[in-house]
Amino acid sequence: MKNILGENDRIAAENQAMFRDKGVYVINLMGSPGAGKTSVLEKTMERLKGELRMAVIEGDLFTSKDAERIEKYDVPVIQINTSGGCHLDAAMVQKVAGKMELGDLDLLIVENVGNLVCPAEFAVGEDAKGVVLSITEGDDKPLKYPLVFKESSIALLNKVDILPYCNFDMKSAKEDILALHPGMEVVEVSCTTGQGIDEWCRWLKARVAEKRRG
């Protein structure tokens, strides 16, 4: 396991150098199956299409269902099928990123396989990781799955439109997240009402601008 992670870190460092060279900001978006990662991406494409040059790498076990959803926004999207593998690794991302016109991009979003555990262990060369947690998953999840919150720079608490029908203590969830990762950005989001999408997109734009300034 240590050897696998060491080799992955080596390739992730190569990826990071490649992304730095090309001046593209890369975020690795993680979350459980059905947390709403693809829905967040759809809203992001919609909102930022005129402002940033974006592309998406979609990680999935077998299907290309998510990539098809993103393609509708006329944004370059590459599908990685892991053939049942539970996370993306740096080598998978290197293989497809090498074929992309990275120099033409401001922002590359990598949507990882739906899994709140394994993806957090594997860097892919990203500038930052982000986690999407659906409030339907329960407020106990940050403490139960701590690594993904420790590793991520931003947490999107998604589907807040159905908060009244769910037993989710927002205050307690936020306290747990900030205890795990002090100072972490936490945004309440709904892809149905659009709540929080502006805040998330502002955060992304600030990161992209920061990277451009070097």
Give me the residues that bind a copy of itself (CB under 8 A), please.
32-34, 60-63, 65, 84, 86, 113-118, 121, 134, 136-138, 140-141, 143-147, 159, 161-162, 165-166
For residue 76 the two structure tokens come to 């370059």
Shortest distance, position 106 Cβ to a copy of itself, whole Å: 29
Shortest distance, position 203 Cβ to a copy of itself, whole Å: 24
Shortest distance, position 99 Cβ to a copy of itself, whole Å: 24
15 versus 158: smaller Cβ distance to a copy of itself: 158
145 versus 203: smaller Cβ distance to a copy of itself: 145
For residue 192 the two structure tokens come to 């149905």
User: What is the torsion angle, in degrees rounded to the nearest 10, for the CA atoms of residue 171, residue 176, residue 180 and residue 181?
Assistant: -10
Q: Where are the alpha helices (DSSP H) in 29-154?
A: 37-48, 65-71, 90-97, 141-144, 146-151
Q: What region, left, alpha or beta, does residue 84 occupy, with left being phi > 0 and alpha being psi -120 to 50 degrees?
A: left
Shortest distance, position 179 Cβ to a copy of itself, whole Å: 13
18 versus 86: smaller Cβ distance to a copy of itself: 86
CA distance 65 to 60: 9
Cβ neighbours of residue 196 closer than 8 Å, sequence gap 6 or more: 156, 160, 187, 188, 189, 190
Q: Residue 107: phi, psi to the nearest 5? A: -140, 125
2 versus 213: smaller Cβ distance to a copy of itself: 2
Shortest distance, position 15 Cβ to a copy of itself, whole Å: 23
159 versus 181: smaller Cβ distance to a copy of itself: 159
